[in-house]
Structure 1
Amino acid sequence: MSILSEFREFIARGNVVDLAVGVIIGGAFGKIVTALVEDVIMPPIGLLTSGVDFSHMNLVLKADNPATKVDEMVAIQYGAFLNTVIQFMIVAWVVFLLVKGVNTLRRAQAAEAAESAPPPAPSAEETLLAEIRDLLKSGR
């Protein structure tokens, strides 16, 4: 088997295609969540905190030197980290709701399939035991 045919077989598997679709959708979804957090959620939070913009909050470890006009500032960007944590929580919540909805649909479909499916035929052992029971009841 050539390496190209092996690669073709690998790509044709359903899991690889599903994973690729998931990554692409996840990337697009990440952009939506970023916009939601930065443009919708954070402004009201900033308003509640007297106009504080979390994305610019930082702890300066070393300030710029205006004499050299070189950007030497070293800072811990905890505001950007807070934004990222909020984005993660939103993504996690939405994924939870999505999985919960899918599980509810699957349970409903499984219950519907179980109700509509005819009961399984008895096995050979069950049939034999039923015959023995019937013979014992009849007294033979």
Structure 2
Amino acid sequence: MSLAEEFVAFLKQYQVIGLAVAFIMGVTATKVVTAAVNDLIMPIIAALLPDGDWKTAVLQLGPVKFLVGDFAGVLLEFVIIALVIFMIVKYLMKEDATEKR
């Protein structure tokens, strides 16, 4: 068996192409969620803040400054991505359970 044949067998056995496609789609979905949070959700939150700029929001407790604005945006992105992944896995597992019956 040649090296090229072994490599093709490896790709098929471990479904590397499918994994690569899933990774690329995940990266792209992350960009979509980031844009949705930054361009759609956070402007609403910015309207509620006195300064209006959520990325520079600071919580100051005495001499300590917590830069909470950017953290809040990233946290919101994480929650949305986790929720979407949960919904997809829940849907796929439901279909998998009905196929096994």
Q: What TM-score results when the alignment is normalised by the length of structure 1?
A: 0.56
- C-alpha separation in 2, matches of 1:33 and 1:18: 22
Partner of 1:54: 54
Which residues in structure 2 correspond to 1:103-118 (within 5 Å)? 103-111=93-101
Match of 1:99 among 85, 89, 94: 89
CA RMSD for the aligned pairs?
A: 2.6
Runs in 1 of length 4+ with deviation above 6 angstroms? none
Displacement after TM superposition at 1:101 (Å): 1.2
Q: 1:58 to 1:48 in 2, by over 3 A?
A: closer
CA deviation string 1:83-106 (max 9, x = no partner): 111101100011111111112222
Displacement after TM superposition at 1:14 (Å): 4.7
Structure of higher CA gyration radius: 1
Q: Which of structures 1 and 2 has the larger relative contact order (alpha carbons within 8 angstroms, sep 6+)?
A: 2
Partner of 2:28: 28
- C-alpha separation in 2, matches of 1:25 and 1:78: 29
Q: Identify unmatched segments of 5+ residues in structure 1.
A: 60-75, 112-140
Q: Percent identity?
A: 35
CA deviation string 1:39-74 (max 9, x = no partner): 111111112234532223468xxxxxxxxxxxxxxx
Higher helix share: 2
Which residues in structure 2 correspond to 1:51-130 (within 5 Å)? 52-57=52-57, 78-111=68-101
Q: What TM-score results when the alignment is normalised by the length of structure 2?
A: 0.74
The letter of the residue matching 1:100 is K
Number of residue equivalences:
96
Partner of 1:44: 44
Q: Identify unmatched segments of 5+ residues in structure 2.
A: 60-65
